[in-house]
Chains A and B, each alone.
Chain A
């Protein structure tokens, strides 16, 4: 038995060592459909480092894999609240900015965000907001405020997100509370608002929101800006607004996990992603707003900024907040959300 396991160990070590000896590699773990495939090819051509590319569907999936320690990645791209959690739990390592000179391309507005206040562990890759997607031809008036989602004119004509954190977060903003509040009284207000709103809601959806809005199923919908970009590309009558009261702003940022094997390769990759031409290429494929000033110039700032998704007014953006990692309090949100949707 002992011999057998020794043999297995040797074999495993050999397998691990062989490709590394032959060629330098980095392994990248990213959201599905979240990079221009050509970018990876270009990186391999320019640096000779082979990219082993894997994708995940939710932050939680990615977290479970890293936290269990079973897999080792060199570059990962989680969202803000997850980065905050991973920093807390010691799962990320600080990035040596000397080796990532292209970080100068990143708009300072998007650095030092609440989830990584010193910008020590992450560099933003894309960002987005939550807002209202509306159909110009069927809305009573152009929405500017979250109150649109409480307007009886849209009874059975609005879609909400079937997602506790997002929908409750917006309800908190509508009540004038903090987006990340865990105060039971605040959450009670938000709950009452959503219960009052429920008879007006056509459906609570997630991915289906895209098909439904494109088909004209409803006049207004609570959406993430990424989905809004897609819908507006498919249906000219759709438009997007981040309401004046402020909203959620989210980032997906590039990080290096604590157990990365090829840190210098990872830094080269991050630097590559921050390069203006590469970020521009990525933007055209992925469609999310980018924090890369040099890339935006390359794309044509005027055209880029014409989109309400890419360029909400600064005073609105100032009121936008990131979701914080809530830890055990996530449970309270789930409980309240279940109470809202099971109200019948």
Chain B
């Protein structure tokens, strides 16, 4: 009984800040806003009155809006324009996650290596930039990669210093100012940079915790380093990998700021379109419908990961037995 009382604040919190907003999104998602329908009637003296649905009349033009349950936003959501955007968001998120994994796993492995001195310091250096606001970090990439940015400045001075290089590049059609930003690759770069540490941390933690005697036992039994990695380290680190994948994939599929800044509005993702609905276009209903779509995709993805995790855990038990 006492324990139950302790959970009350949490339950309240979750109800107010999780359940209620979710229900609101659901409600907005399945409704549309419309002006109350009316018919205009021009009277004999030329004045105009308006007849409302219930048969009543008014001289003021009706403006009041009301919400009506309708699935029309779902129909709109399934138009090719929006599906194409969703697919692109998924594609970019998958690529980002893969790159983060390919970069992050070796980093985590090196950091946990026995010969590696002062892993805590290096880990700190990896995490430190993440304490800064991610907008600031993304803006710094803009200053580096812009047409008028640092990198183009360096290239320009290099080309000025070595005319032969300049001619060589010009002959190959490389423009004096190279446009690095405002394309899909720039968006992926921005995401990898921002999310990489979310991949490294969980993998590092799991490998770090793995019992080293398992590796020693494997070595005693004649396993070479490759075998030890494939048979011991890799399976044991899988939960960390799955967590890292979730932590990168979910924000990557929903982001809108990185695509706006790095993509210059030319690589809109589903998150950008949702943001437009709540901002400029102020159509909260359609925005909510799109949010529901993204939520379903993310849930499906996490469900799939969960299954892999469970199957793997079961296999691991078998292996130990």
- Report the separation of the CA atoms of residues A3 and B81 in the bound assembly, to the nearest whole angstrom: 57
Q: A203-B182, A203-B265 are in contact. Are A342 and B81 (CB under 8 A)?
A: yes
Indicate if the CB atoms of A327 and B146 lie closer than 8 Å. no
Q: State which size class the interface on A falls in.
A: 20 to 34
Interface size, chain B (Cβ < 8 Å):
33
Closest B residue to A165 using CB positions: B280
Instruction: Say how far B24's CB is from chain A's closest CB, in angstroms.
Output: 15
Residues of A within 8 A of B277 (CB): 334
Report whether A341 and B265 are in contact in the complex, using a CB–CB cutoff of 8 Å.
yes
Contact at B279–A164, with CB atoms within 8 Å? Answer: no
Please tell me which stretch of A29-37, A100-108, A211-219, A278-286 contacts chain B, meaning at least 4 of its Cβ atoms lie within 8 angstroms of it.
A211-219
| Interface mask (B263-283 → A, CB under 8 Å = 1, otherwise 0) | 111111000010011011111
Known: A162-B260, A202-B179, A330-B281. A342 touches B276 (CB 8 A): no
Residue pair B81, A88 in contact (C-beta under 8 Å): no
Q: Mark A260-287, 1 if CB is under 8 A from B, else 0.
A: 0000000000000000000000000000
A205:B81 contact, CB within 8 angstroms: no
Partner of B265, one of A89, A205, A330: A205
A88 and B63 contacting across the interface, CB-CB below 8 Å: yes
Query: Assuming A165-B280, A342-B268, is B181 touching A203 (CB within 8 A)?
Result: yes
Interface string of B152-187 (1 = CB under 8 A from A): 000000000000000000000000000101100000
- Taking CB atoms, residues of chain B closer than 8 Å to A305 are none
**A157: nearest chain-B partner, CB-CB:** B147
Q: Is the CB of A208 within 8 A of B261?
A: yes
The answer, yes or no, to whether B35 is at the interface (CB within 8 Å) is yes
Asked if A341 contacts B280 (CB within 8 A), the reply is no
Closest to B285 in A: A331
Within 8 A of B (CB), among A285-344: 327-328, 330-331, 333-335, 337-339, 341-342, 344
Q: Are B280 and A334 in contact (CB under 8 A)?
A: yes
A165 to B261, CA, bound (A): 21
A107 to chain B, nearest CB (A): 31
Residue B148 at the A interface, CB < 8 A? yes
The listed residue with most A CB atoms (<10 A of its CB), out of B179, B182, B276, B281, is B281
| Interface members, chain A 193-209 (any B CB < 8 Å) | 198, 201-205, 208
Q: Confirm or deny: B85 has a beta carbon within 8 angstroms of a beta carbon on chain A.
A: yes
Q: Provide the bound-state CA to CA distance between A164 and B281, in Å.
A: 8
List the A side residues contacting B88 at CB < 8 Å: 344
Interface residues as binary, B112-148 with A (CB distance below 8 Å gives 1, 0 otherwise):
0000000000000000000000000000000000111
Report the nearest B residue to A163, measured CB to CB.
B280
Q: Which of A202, A328, A330, A333 sits near B182, CB closer than 8 Å?
A: A202
Question: Are A330 and B282 CB-contacts (below 8 A) given A162-B265, A201-B266, A203-B264?
Answer: yes
| Contacting residue for A334 out of B182, B263, B264, B281, CB 8 A | B281
Instruction: Write out the residue numbers on chain A whose beta carbons fall within 8 Å of the beta carbon of B266.
Output: 198, 201, 203-204, 341
Cβ A331 vs Cβ B281 within 8 A: yes
Q: In the complex the two chains form, is B282's CB within 8 Å of A217's CB?
A: no
Say if the beta carbon of A58 comes within 8 Å of chain B.
yes
Is the beta-carbon distance between B264 and A339 smaller than 8 angstroms?
no
Beyond the given A164-B281, A217-B148, A330-B283, please list 15 additional residue pairs across the A-B interface where CB-CB is below 8 A: A60-B279, A88-B61, A89-B63, A202-B147, A202-B182, A203-B182, A215-B146, A328-B35, A334-B277, A334-B283, A335-B76, A335-B81, A338-B81, A342-B81, A342-B84
Q: Could you list some 7 contacts between A and B, CB below 8 A?
A: A202-B179, A202-B182, A208-B261, A218-B147, A331-B283, A338-B276, A339-B81
Shortest beta-carbon contacts, A-B, top 5: A203-B264, A204-B265, A334-B281, A162-B265, A215-B148
